[in-house]
Structure 1
Amino acid sequence: MENPDFWSALDELIRRSRLVIDRPQGSAHPRFPALIYPLDYGYLAQTSSMDGEGVDVWLGSDPAQTLNAVICTVDLEKRDSEVKLLLGCTRKEIQLVLDFHNRSPSMKGLLIPRPDSTR
């Protein structure tokens, strides 16, 4: 079921927030050095997610940086779930992020593409 108000609310959250990239593309995860970030990864400053940190964001190569999907993740090791925002991601970049979140037996991700996204 499509819900345009959901996407509008996320657009507003993004507009009101500062994006912080703390894990640039190609960098290693701080606790798992073999895990390399395929795109820039960060968070929205002064927001809150399930883990008590800022709302997570993957940043793609499209300069417009519009929200075109979210990924819902479940992490069995951390015993939590989160929503990750995908900004300006191409189809290829979306697949890279989805693969990143599904490569481990303990973490799984589900992609929710924005219905009006043309990417």
Structure 2
Amino acid sequence: MLGLKRGAVALYPHEKAWETEAQATMARLRHILGPVAVEMAHVGSTAIPTIQAKPIIDIAVAVDDFDALLAYEKQLRAAGFYYRPNAQAGVRGQLLFASGSYYDGSGDLQTHFIHIVRTGSVDWQNYILFRDYLCTHPDTAGEYERLKLALAAQLPTDSGREDYVQGKQSFIRSVLRRALSDMLLGKMVDILIDRPLGSHHPKHTDMIYPVNYGYVPYIFSADGEEADVYLLGVSQPVEKYKGRVIAVIHRLDDVEDKWIAAPTGVTFPPDEIEKAVNFQEQYFQHEIEMLDPNGDQ
């Protein structure tokens, strides 16, 4: 089955045909867009084989330039992809194209959503992170399915889709935080230091950084900003550093997490990490997740 009446909320068991259709759709898009489409992926629930989904195919397309993409609007429309300039007014940094008989005027079905995002953006990262985490964590995927089924049972009417979407957001945010932890813990990262050891906080000038503090370019936290990192074990100010992520600080009363990096082969116990970051983390409820020394990361 493919397609759902606009505004309706209904879930169906996964079908292998959805992946086939997604691949065919991406081939059509690549033929039209050529090199303008930098990356492309089947995302959303129809890309997760273990859960039920609305039978609408979601494709994410990463481009460097929205205007370059919109230059192909006529060709996309001729191929059945209709630009919806007001459909995602609340979603910053994305464009939406949609397919189905509702859009060509021959019926009332929506079959495809094409999400246009910027290359290397938090939107692209999150589409891929969420899909991959659920594909590799079946228990979490099952939680998501149960949540979706409960919401669909509560909101089955035409007016329920927006509430259905909003009802998933808290779960999606929590999964993205876990997925980012999985992605970074134990990995080597390039850190750009924008607040070196001994510098003052740009707003709270009485706060002096006792460690180097920066961010990982092109890796985004839940607040949409690049992931912040405390660099421990480096006793002089630096502008950039390649270090290993050894821990994550989960802020329980904030949307973002903070990462702890150190030189290769160097680690710190939780109490030393707590002491090193207390100058800033004392203002937040938090817990520290350490890299498992016996794990695969």
Q: TM-score range by the shorter chain?
A: 0.5 to 0.7
**Shift in CA distance, 83/102, structure 1 to aligned 2, threshold 3 Å:** closer
- Residues 65-104 of structure 1: pairs in structure 2 closer than 5 A: 65-74=243-252, 80-88=254-262, 90-91=268-269, 93-104=272-283
Give the superposition deviation at 1:26: 1.7
TM-score by length of 2: 0.31
User: Is this contact kept in 1: 2:185–2:246, CA < 8 A?
Assistant: no
- Residues 23-42 of structure 1: pairs in structure 2 closer than 5 A: 23-42=195-214
- Residue 82 of structure 1 aligns with an amino acid whose one-letter code is E
Aligned to 2:183: 9
1:53 to 2:225 alignment: yes
Aligned to 2:108: none
1:39-70 C-alpha deviation (Å, 9 max, x unpaired)? 11111112221222101111111698322111
Greater relative contact order structure (CA < 8 Å, 6+ sep): 1
Q: Provide the C-alpha distance between the structure 2 equivalents of 1:18 and 1:96, rounded to a whole number of angstroms.
A: 24
**Shift in CA distance, 74/32, structure 1 to aligned 2, threshold 3 Å:** farther
1:114 to 2:288 alignment: no
TM-score by length of 1: 0.68
User: Is this contact kept in 2: 1:50–1:81, CA < 8 A?
Assistant: yes
Q: Provide the C-alpha distance between the structure 2 equivalents of 1:64 and 1:48, rounded to a whole number of angstroms.
A: 18
User: Is this contact kept in 2: 1:39–1:93, CA < 8 A?
Assistant: no
Q: Provide the C-alpha distance between the structure 2 equivalents of 1:109 and 1:10, rounded to a whole number of angstroms.
A: 18
Give the superposition deviation at 1:93: 4.8
Q: Provide the C-alpha distance between the structure 2 equivalents of 1:82 and 1:6, rounded to a whole number of angstroms.
A: 11
Q: Which has the higher strand share?
A: 1
Name segments (4+ residues, structure 1) moved above 4 Å.
Answer: 5-8
For the residue of structure 2 that corresponds to 1:61, the secondary structure is coil
Mark the runs of 5 or more structure 1 residues left unpaired by the alignment: none
- Residue 22 of structure 1 aligns with an amino acid whose one-letter code is D
**RMSD over equivalenced CA pairs, Å:** 3.2
Q: Provide the C-alpha distance between the structure 2 equivalents of 1:108 and 1:101, rounded to a whole number of angstroms.
A: 11
User: Is this contact kept in 2: 1:25–1:40, CA < 8 A?
Assistant: yes
Mark the runs of 5 or more structure 2 residues left unpaired by the alignment: 1-178, 235-240
For the residue of structure 1 that corresponds to 2:286, the secondary structure is strand
Aligned to 2:216: 44
- Residue 111 of structure 1 aligns with an amino acid whose one-letter code is I
Q: Provide the C-alpha distance between the structure 2 equivalents of 1:82 and 1:26, rounded to a whole number of angstroms.
A: 24
**Which structure is larger by alpha-carbon Rg, 1 or 2?**
2
Q: How many residues align?
A: 106
